[in-house]
Amino acid sequence: DVKVTQSSRYLVKRTGEKVFLECVQDMDHENMFWYRQDPGLGLRLIYFSYDVKMKEKGDIPEGYSVSREKKERFSLILESASTNQTSMYLCASSASRGSLDIQYFGAGTRLSVL
Amino acid sequence: SQQGEEDPQALSIQEGENATMNCSYKTSINNLQWYRQNSGRGLVHLILIRSNEREKHSGRLRVTLDTSKKSSSLLITASRAADTASYFCARTGGYNKLIFGAGTRLAVHP
């Protein structure tokens, strides 16, 4: 079974802090994604990566950056956390070939910025 | 918005009843997927239906697709309390991306 692991289930940070959210997948998937989920807004794509060291902006990249130094790991970085970044963050991965774009999700990280 | 639209936004039923959720979209698709999300957790893939299929079954799940109307429905038969969750449809958005709808919150009462 595919396993996508997010490093923290809950995080509380202060405004202005630098925040790292880590995601690791164990299925050698090429594609990895970061979403945020807010009530009434569904899932919104922040960034995605289709290969090591490659990244593409999603729909709401402002205030975020990402890093993919190894195939299995995709990190989301909040350079200076703000209260409007309080949200549920979901990481997902998918294979490039023959996958029909089925994504596998981690359990999510609920981030509170105070 | 590129998102699909799901309706209803919320659905409350009794155990044993059937639950039907609908999804509409605006552009052509290669396939459409349905995911489930238990409260506070990640999404889990349920079923995928290709654009050349009209109906697909998986256990108590039945998905239909009408490409002429750009709509899909998910039917859960003989629902159980454990089916309580949010359900999302998703379509491919290019570059292996998915575009998710806003979801339907299903509550199944014992």
Residue in the block written with tokens 């990481």: A91
**A37: nearest CA partner in chain B:** B102
Residue B27's pLDDT is 87
Residues B56 and A17: their CA atoms lie apart, in Å, by: 48
Residue A99's pLDDT is 64
Convert the pLDDT of each residue in A4-49 to its tens digit: 999 999 999 999 999 999 999 999 999 999 999 998 888 999 999 9
Residue B92's pLDDT is 83
Residues A110 and A108: their CA atoms lie apart, in Å, by: 6
**In chain B, what are the domains?**
5-109 (2.60.40.10)
Residue B2's pLDDT is 47
* Set of chain A residues whose Cβ sits within 8 Å of the Cβ of B96: 31, 48, 50, 94, 96, 99, 101
Residue A63 at interface with chain B, using a CB cutoff of 8 Å? no
Q: Verify whether the Cβ–Cβ distance A103 to B98 is below 8 Å.
A: yes
**pLDDT above 60: residue B108:** yes
CATH of segment(s) A4-97+104-113: 2.60.40.10
- Across the range A84-97, mean pLDDT stands at 93
Nearest to B106 by CA among B29, B43, B12: B12
Q: Among B2, B97, B99, B100, which would you mutate to test the A interface (most chain A Cβ atoms within 10 Å of its Cβ)?
A: B97
| Sequence-ordered list of residues with C-beta below 8 angstroms from that of A113, at least 6 positions apart, any chain | A13, A14, A15, A17, A19, A81, A82, A83, A84, A85, A86
- Across the range B73-101, mean pLDDT stands at 91
Q: Tally the C-alpha atoms within 13 A of residue A53's C-alpha that lie toward its C-beta.
A: 0
Q: Calculate what percentage of chain B has a pLDDT beyond 70.
A: 96
**pLDDT above 70: residue A55:** yes
- Across the range B26-37, mean pLDDT stands at 92
Residue A93 at interface with chain B, using a CB cutoff of 8 Å? no
**pLDDT above 60: residue B29:** yes
Residues A4 and B101: their CA atoms lie apart, in Å, by: 22
Task: Lowest mean pLDDT of A4-13, B2-11, B37-46, name the range.
Answer: B2-11
For the residues of B64-108, what is the DSSP string, one character each? EEETTTTEEEEEE-S--GGG-EEEEEEEE-STT-EEE---EEEEE
Convert the pLDDT of each residue in B49-86 to its tens digit: 999 999 999 999 999 999 999 999 999 999 999 999 99
Cα–Cα distance list, B4 to A34, A45, B23, B93 (Å):
19, 14, 6, 11
Residue B7's pLDDT is 87
**pLDDT above 90: residue B97:** no
For chain A, what is the mean pLDDT?
94
